[in-house]
Amino acid sequence: MLEARLLTKIYGGEGGMPPQRAVNGFHLSIHPGEWVGVMGPSGSGKTSLLRMLGTLDLPTSGELWFRGRELTALSPEERAHFRRCHLGFIFQDFRLLEALTLRENTWLPLVLAGEDPSVMQERSDAMAAALGLENGWHRYPRHASGGEKQRAAAIRAMIHRPDLVLADEPTGNLDSKASRALLSAMDTLRQEYGSAILMVTHDPVAASRCERVLFIRDGTLMTEIRRGEDRQDFLRRILTVVSAMGGERLDLEGMGLS
């Protein structure tokens, strides 16, 4: 469905600044309905990769194909239209509109698609109930907690049932219960509507929900591991790679593993 070939992002290089190769010749294929995790140390290029896959940033070089269309060849307006129709984003810093309540924020993709207001309300209220967001639902972002905002951002990313959800640390602000609820909601979307998910995470437990996990370091794919039947075994293998790569804080106690 989405295919990246030799995707490269180099920042800087002007005004005497040394160029920074944030993503270095990355190849990746994402299939419909697939759940892919991305892990790697801070500064390894995860967000840069995700922003290019989502057409928010153009690569310095390389190609990006979606169902036979080369996305980097599209005009900015065409790319914006592509994103609205096919993608959903969960950003590290939520990006909610302050003038709208959390509930109203989640309607935006459907407003842009010209959807009926009753559909927006029904769909968003059902998703909020599934994520335990009744409390903060009618609050403005400035009065909501980080976890409430994170869940509203996730609903907004999924409400239009996109082909691909690109999520940057979607559980970063959530406690383990809210985190499990969000990951289950993402899984439901995936199974019911065939949406694929690409999820950047520092949390090995969250990563173990994925079908495969890519490990990235210095903008390069180091290795990729696949889940088999046994999720605990997958978690153990993820932990092994994370600790072998270093640069990652491992809170084994917090994960209930020591």
Ligand X SMILES: Nc1ncnc2c1ncn2[C@@H]1O[C@H](COP(=O)(O)OP(=O)(O)OP(=O)(O)O)[C@@H](O)[C@H]1O
The amino acid that residue 180 corresponds to is R
**Out of 4, 30, 36, 40, the residue judged to bind ligand X by CB under 6 A:** 40
What, of Mg ion, ligand X, none, does residue 22 touch, CB below 5 to 8 Å by kind?
ligand X
- CA-to-CA distance for 27 and 41, rounded, in angstroms? 19
Here the tokens at position 124 are 């968003």
Is residue 173 part of the contact set for Mg ion (CB under 5 A)? no
Phi-psi region of 59 (alpha: psi -120 to 50; beta: other; left: phi over 0): beta
Is residue 124 part of the contact set for Mg ion (CB under 5 A)? no
Here the tokens at position 236 are 């153990």
**Out of 7, 46, 167, 242, the residue judged to bind ligand X by CB under 6 A:** 46
Which region, judged by CB under 5 A, interacts with Mg ion, from 1-9, 47-55, 73-81, 97-105?
Answer: 47-55
Is residue 45 part of the contact set for ligand X (CB under 6 A)? yes
For tokens 């907004």, name the residue. 156
Which region, judged by CB under 6 A, interacts with ligand X, from 41-49, 93-101, 155-163, 178-186?
Answer: 41-49
Nearer to ligand X, 20 or 176 (CB): 20
Q: Which residue's CB atom is positioned nearest to Mg ion?
A: 47
**Out of 43, 63, 80, 211, the residue judged to bind ligand X by CB under 6 A:** 43
Neighbours of 64 (CB within 10 A): 22
Spell out the alpha helix ranges (H) of 62-116: 76-86, 102-106, 108-112
Cα angle 76, 79, 83; round to 5? 140
Is residue 11 part of the contact set for ligand X (CB under 6 A)? yes
The residues of the shown chain that bind ligand X, judged by CB under 6 A, are 11-12, 20, 22, 40, 42-48
